[in-house]
Structure 1
């Protein structure tokens, strides 16, 4: 061939879409393809395929496989003379190496594509059965199956059938194949076939008439004894037939495999019997089945064996399917299953997952099935196993907006088309978008994208996936807004009854009230209502994910009413990623955070800091500076404390919100917070805030409190002339930086007369300061109370509220008891004169870290005191095993054990000289005083008990040391602790187990020498 001619051929091939024209030229120069080289019709046809290079290679292999030159000439002549054959055969060769290999092995099968009659465009099960009827063994069945598959693929790649018709034909072919496989199994064991009636019920995509090219075919087997046969023998015979049928389809032979038959959707999964009677199936579903099993039964369809028995099965389980939405936590169960699927995708594959990833096919299927199960109870038109048919029915009935349904259908069709063409290439089961440019180019061209196939493919794929991500949950909620907003009177919308059904399924206990809230928020044509209609579909989903959706929606309405005219509020929720979700989590997590927010709605702004800094607790120095500045601007002690309370309210909300968001996580960032970190965050933040509030109150008292006895709040104050130095010492959890939301502030008050001051006057002033601080902090307020408890002072309630440093020294030197040394382990200055606080600590260090540790009698006394506390302080009727404070393995157990170690060894182990329980426990472990395993057990128990107490306060708005008895409150506590709907029992079991292990450690460390 001359260079000029070669150049001309090369150019033509390049123009026709060949990516390797040189290799194509070499093939065309061969004797078998020379006629193709000079035939513009054939070259055009090759160029129209998804991959011209691949199609040419396949054609060359097919021609070479022909038995003689005459057969090759017949094939080429037929190709030239028949455009339908040309398009079908070359289209398949350019899309599927697997089918090209089949044609090369079975050189005459190309003739299956010659006939082109209207009746061939949509063959049914019967035609496929005729195509498989001659297969007398598994190998022949595989060959016949591939021949039938070839005809489906040819119609698919030519666009003769659309994606839904392709999926339906594949399901019909699978049905015919199952029937032929069962016939082969029965022929091999006629005695088994005579004993039983066996029905094969298709599930999943096969049952829904929407099968992929390569997929497991999910089935369930139902059997009954033949007339006169023993049931036990009949079931064993049916199991043998079913197993043989599965092997015929699944096993690999010289002709490859067909597809795996998967029976794991049966009752009890792979642990259950392969075959059951109808009554056994019903007994299981009525008593044991989980929500996902009813979801799977949506697509059940009898396909093989005894079709009458299969129909009886479907009719019998149908009513159970349509009652599934009445199950407790129905929606949460379905959504949890979807999240679990996503979580199990390898991280490296998530972005390429066409089926299971976010915005993938499974999102569409789950959304549609959820709506079917909710509304199919009362509307039989929704009971289709096909995703697209069900979606159209949902739109027609007003259950889904027509525009949303149309967008979702377009996305689903495109994604399914991608999935089909990816699998067709090698006939392998995969849902991953290929990474290579060549594969993406072939894929894009197969979908009709020809200008820039790779770029267009990725653009369209991402666009459709984004649509699915946006709509798959919104689909469930937006019609609720359309039902109340009434902005498009001509469009079908949810009836009031359907709206109530949907809200009940979401977990709303009062659907009528929820609809009223939605109407108030979303009705009208104002910009505010329009933004709410954008936000609410997503917010409703987050509310539904909580233990109390009703409270979440009600609280959102209250906040919106309070801030609705504030320009930044809705803009914040609309534009700042995590703000809306954080707000939804906070508003539906219990009473404390919403109550705080209602009294300071502007604190919503804290939720919108994109980097999370808005919820970071502020350091004590900053808090104290702000509170002292606010107190300085006030005109009275009452006003100063009110200002301090305002800061405290906002900062408590910040901490509570951080706690809740850290427990729940967000859609973009799932909860990964360490439980110990959350405990330390709350304990440190609340303790710092309490210390700053006391500092501000002390400043207010000194400035405005009365220097004259009996004239509280008369104004004037001492200014800088307070005749004594004054300090507040934090005790208990306060001193340990471990305060919870509902903890009292245990304190000691110490003063020291200034040089030259009269001691009586100084003492009188110090007592008036204490009295005024307590009065101001006890003024009526809707905020969580801040109670000062000074009962740990010398002589307890009988002793003076405030003492001089010398008085403390005298008392501790002469009268101090071992329990007071133990209490002082947590003493730390928190407000007032820093030097005085430091010297108080120097005074008490020898008591709390006694040289050479404790004597035996002191240890026995501590043990007696603890035993007495356990017997006297447990509330009547309380379950000790669930009491977080003084129950076995609770806070008291851990703290007393750690404190005993501190008293015994603090003098020699510097790390034990801390007021913080967890730090002391770590120091004890590092010093070898406790094993790493035992330290871990105690730490886990202490953290869990603290988390429970904090969660109870978040949920109920009041403190509690045990789990709530009300079911919804208990579920809300579970959500705070990371337990999803329906897992309250797991939470209680986990607490008992953790506490029991901790008690075992306590008994070995605390009670034994």
Structure 2
């Protein structure tokens, strides 16, 4: 039987190898046991199984040799192929626990682990080479097996160590001592569930508290106990015996590397990373995961260390560290002649990892969705968040999967840790066959295509600009000489004049104050080096703007504000387009310059110029904010408030940028600003609601059912009218529909009124509290029933009674521009019905006219312009003066209240443009009147928005607003006087 060929036809490229192994397998079957018959494998019904067996042996000497020496594996899987077909990584712990619980010696432990590992490796290789498993399933299976081997070995060894050395004890100050468990962190591919077929496992040993052992022959420090335990664990896992090894263990990623203690307490770990953690260790900690021991305590430790890994601000300085690491690897590759290494070579796996992890280090502190570990998950986030184009992430994903599968095909051959392409014909043919290629040449062509894509994207993300053929001009040497004080004062002034500065003395003084000021002498050396590199780049960009003096004087405060966070300067040097747009927008808008000076994190918005000038739809805004908040624990109110504030600032900055660039019409501008407020309010209500019901339970509705939530926020004024401008307050009214005199259903119940009052207070707190990022909005609650003396939150019944019986005319005017902007949809519909009923009441027009005119006169006297220009000429207030915005609003409101009883359709809209259109359609005003009102309203509001973005008040020369001012005044005269 030993001379038999393999029973089915196979590719000539791998037939010699498979036939050789088949003959050895048949011979061994005859020698080991008569029950193992190769004829069983040759039965016609087993064609599919034989094909898989051939593919496995063609691709893996290790798997073939294990099958030859342990033919029971083959026959077991032939009779029951279930383990080959299904992906169940969680079973590793269960199976190993059953194997280990009855052993009595370390030698036995080592043998059981190795036998288990070898059998499972054959199964995993079989699934991988036959593409029964995806790449993610293969790496997750390997990682889960590593977790189980390390954890089960640790459990046995810990118990054995406690018998001889005693049990390690420790505690927090003031607490009772309790037994201490080791925590093992898996790093790199192990931590990210990405182990390959021949990976090392990178581990770090740690334990929660210092202390001593009790119960042994003598007492040991916890560190000595866990060091001995760790040494035994490494021996059990790493040693090469007659049965092979389990995993090669690498401990060099621990604090202080090979010279550091093998095991450290949590406090020592925290101190090390706080004081001495290096950039490459941040890169390594991205993938850290507790894999064995006290996993819960390990999670707490990683939460403590997270600020070391992920900075709270955008951190472009991380790219420099990644570049340095890449250069070291490239030098090592060239020195060792490893240019064909698919992991470390140009266009290899490491470059894809660097691309993904550069975004994680830069943005992960603020975008928690990037704090995931698996690379393919990171690529998904980069695509969804718009950090990389969809084509780029798709190409990187395809390349990564291909390279990792190729890595597995190479490693499966000999169960060796290598990423080098084979040099000889037979292994090349086998690898090509495993990868589904007809020959090596085709594989090489496909590989080159993927590597070229990786190189392209790597060069656009992380490659050093100094190493690229770059069309960008280098900073002029003269600016470097200026900054380095190599020019005389006369030459410095001459240079500024030659480069287009007009207010030369002021600009010169500002630059010198920055260069020679005390603030610079106090910054770290790295920060000073970054600043020295940035200023010449900045000056080259400043002189391309329309007003270099204005641009420079608006940007210097930003530079001064980030002297201790100079990663922002690196961001701008890394992104010339971002710096270009920053300079141009700050030149045009002092408001933009001021916002970025206060909140440098907004510079992140300049990285994607496409989105900077293109506002998203409302649904996209809501989804974006929802995703940002989804990654924050529900009880972390501080982080939630920071996310809300940054979200609002970032999108208002986009409005300002689009407005400055002239790409956003007035109505779209107001829509965008209103949508921002609406989606923020929706999330604020949701946060406040969850917080209160967690403490006090849900209130009940009048019919006895739980409220969900039975609460709405009504927006009045500009918010209700979908006409928010930059810096607008929010006029809000809160209404609930909870049952009166009923308590919530929680452990600490509150009556309904108190619950909804606290809900309103919590909403105002979230909106108005000043954090490091400022406040969200100023909330004005004076339009609620009975004004400042009324309840903060009204019941729907009380609100209805007040509107129908007690409200003043001006309150019904305000109701015209009111709509529910957040909260319960059903209650919002009831409010809209009430609003329409209220507005459609019949009114005496003379009385109404007198009331509206009296209120307008009172406002004008109180808020109108009393200012003159420098020549003593009176100025016009765009909003409050005669013929201004408020006159138009009052005209619209008078018309709705006067005619709604006969024309209910005019109550539908809350914004003045569509109100005027509905009045025109109902023949209440003429087409000419409607057109004049709309043109005047849009002109005046546009002027008001522009003044706000220029940080200027709403006063202009009367001549600038003619003829609109006169047209509005004439209409007022006709209607109201």
Question: Where on the TM-score scale, by shorter chain, does this alignment land: which range?
Answer: 0.3 to 0.5
Query: TM-score, structure 1 length as denominator?
Result: 0.43
Bigger CA radius of gyration? 1
Query: TM-score, structure 2 length as denominator?
Result: 0.44
